[in-house]
């Protein structure tokens, strides 16, 4: 009789566990149905890159030294780079070569396409920006090296893109409030391009953002390193704007701002194996500034390690904006001494003047945090600060374990609803589901599976 009772209990446990798993799976499929074709969006891109890598025929080597570049770090090599570019861009299978062992001083320059097919930009030496803001071309206040209107181009090598940013940082209003707030150049920008691959390069000490992907499609970034001091202002690592089908993989980033920032009109962004720190974490936003429209959809971060950052996984929007952030998944993330490990902030205000309360906001929904663990510097390990008029919805926490430094940690919610699936610490009771029946069933199943 006792044996029969034990077998019956085990049967019930397995049945309830199966039902719980099925319920969770159905919820996930319902919320993330837009992801169904997401894993295959880069097939065409991979094909482009394989054609480049396996293409036959002799390469046309275009060495900047052959056009008069000195490479001593003090002579102005801008003209040599432009002349070499014009030749490389015009001939098929060209390799634009920046040789190793030298430092090339290059001023603000636009490298315009379209170019002949299968162009390779091989950077093995160091490209360095002028260090004094007084010497900067006023016609290019926000740009240093801009590559525009390219298709099927590969940037590769073991070289360095050095922004020489220290004097720019010292002149920033974020370092000293008596300084005027002025724009500073972005080190490398890829604009209005498609079928682009970037691999192996090192970016350091940018004046502001290190690497910008703007208005582009099908961009794959692999194995790059980005480095600047933790107190360098506005030095985002990788900034994605108005771009689609972007893959970032095996990147190590330490900066004074967001390691990765994804802003308006960007979708199908995949990040895998990202190391971040120091910096402000991995961010969607900011969005909605000055009552603008902000839209970001279909973002996945899979496998990341963040250490000593001021934020972890962040979505930030200004009051007064409109649009939406939707279908986002952060998974397999480990954090160490991160101040705000998980944060959604619809009241973001990066301004010297106070931001006024407004009722409109960028809508945030369908955001999942799965297999996230680590330690929080602040007491609030999770913060969902959402608008009363445009609440956050369908926030899913699945296997989240965040410990405070002193052993205590809290969750803060304002106008945020969601689902707790699996083990979550600290408890997120304030994240009440909009579907009470579903939430209650999940809680019941979790209780029973602990028997």
Residues carrying an active site annotation = 257, 280
- Extract the tokens encoding 7: 């077998």
Measured between alpha carbons, how far is 451 from 448 in angstroms, rounded to an integer? 6
Helix runs in 333-433, H state only: none
User: What residues contact residue 221 under an 8 Å CB cut-off, 6+ apart?
Assistant: 197, 198, 199, 211, 213, 238, 246, 247, 248, 249, 251
Q: Are 279 and 253 in contact (CB under 8 A)?
A: yes
Say which residue the tokens 């939430």 belong to. 439
Q: By three-state DSSP, how is residue 183 classified?
A: coil
Q: Is the dihedral of CA 369, 230, 167, 179 positive or negative?
A: positive
- Extract the tokens encoding 338: 């991160």
**Full strand arrangement of the beta sheet holding 282-287:** 109-112, 143-148, 186-191, 211-214, 238-241, 260-262, 282-287, 313-317, 342-345, 380-385, 410-414
Short-list 102, 103, 93, 64, CA closest to 81: 64
Question: Phi and psi at residue 417, in whole multiples of 5°?
Answer: -125, 150
Q: Are 327 and 300 in contact (CB under 8 A)?
A: no
Measured between alpha carbons, how far is 284 from 158 in angstroms, rounded to an integer? 29
* Radius of gyration (C-alpha) of the chain in whole angstroms: 24
Say which residue the tokens 């579903």 belong to. 438
Q: How many CB atoms lie within 10 A of CB 38?
A: 17
State the Cα angle at 434 between 433 and 440, rounded to 5°.
Answer: 50
Short-list 227, 226, 156, CA closest to 196: 156
Q: Are 129 and 185 in contact (CB under 8 A)?
A: yes
Measured between alpha carbons, how far is 97 from 84 in angstroms, rounded to an integer? 9
CA atoms within 13 A on the CB side of 418: 27
């Amino acid at each position: 009789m006792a044996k029969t009772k034990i077998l019956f209990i085990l049967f019930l446990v397995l049945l309830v566990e199966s039902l719980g798993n099925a319920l969770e799976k159905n919820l996930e499929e319902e919320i993330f149905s837009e992801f169904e074709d997401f894993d295959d969006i880069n097939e065409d891109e991979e094909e482009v890159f394989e054609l480049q890598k396996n293409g036959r025929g002799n390469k046309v080597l275009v060495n900047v030294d052959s056009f008069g570049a000195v490479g001593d770090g003090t002579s102005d090599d801008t003209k040599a780079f432009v002349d070499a570019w014009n030749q490389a861009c015009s001939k098929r299978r060209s390799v634009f070569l920046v040789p190793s062992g030298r430092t090339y001083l290059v001023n603000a320059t636009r490298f315009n396409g379209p170019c002949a097919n299968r162009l390779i930009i091989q950077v093995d030496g160091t490209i360095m920006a002028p260090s004094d803001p007084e010497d900067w071309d006023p016609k290019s206040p926000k740009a240093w090296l801009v590559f525009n209107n390219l298709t099927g181009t590969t940037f590769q090598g073991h070289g360095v893109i050095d922004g020489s940013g220290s004097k720019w940082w010292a002149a920033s209003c974020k370092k000293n409030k008596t300084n005027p707030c002025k724009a500073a150049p972005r080190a490398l920008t890829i604009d209005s391009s498609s079928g682009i691959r970037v691999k192996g390069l090192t970016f350091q000490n940018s004046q502001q953002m290190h690497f910008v992907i703007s208005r582009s499609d099908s961009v794959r970034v692999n194995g790059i390193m980005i480095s600047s001091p933790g107190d360098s202002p506005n030095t985002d690592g990788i900034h994605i704007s108005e771009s689609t089908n972007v893959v970032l993989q095996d990147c190590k980033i330490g900066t004074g701002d967001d390691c990765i920032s994804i802003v308006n009109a960007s979708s199908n962004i995949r990040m895998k194996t990202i190391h971040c720190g120091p910096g402000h974490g991995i961010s969607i936003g900011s969005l909605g500034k000055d009552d603008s429209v902000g839209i970001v959809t279909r973002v996945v971060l899979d496998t990341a390690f963040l250490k000593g950052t001021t934020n972890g996984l962040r979505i930030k929007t200004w009051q007064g904006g409109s649009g939406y952030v939707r279908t986002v998944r952060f998974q397999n993330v480990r954090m160490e001494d991160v101040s705000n490990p998980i944060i959604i902030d619809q009241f973001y205000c990066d301004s010297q003047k106070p931001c006024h309360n407004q009722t409109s906001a960028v809508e945030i929904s369908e955001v999942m945090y799965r297999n996230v663990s680590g330690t929080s510097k602040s007491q609030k390990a999770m913060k969902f600060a959402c608008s009363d008029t445009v609440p956050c919805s369908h926030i899913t926490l699945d296997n989240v374990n965040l410990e405070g430094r002193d052993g205590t940690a809290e969750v803060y919610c304002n106008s945020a609803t969601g689902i707790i699936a699996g083990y979550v610490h600290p408890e997120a009771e304030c994240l009440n589901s909009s579907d009470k029946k579903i939430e209650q069933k999940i809680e019941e199943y979790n209780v029973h599976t602990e028997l």
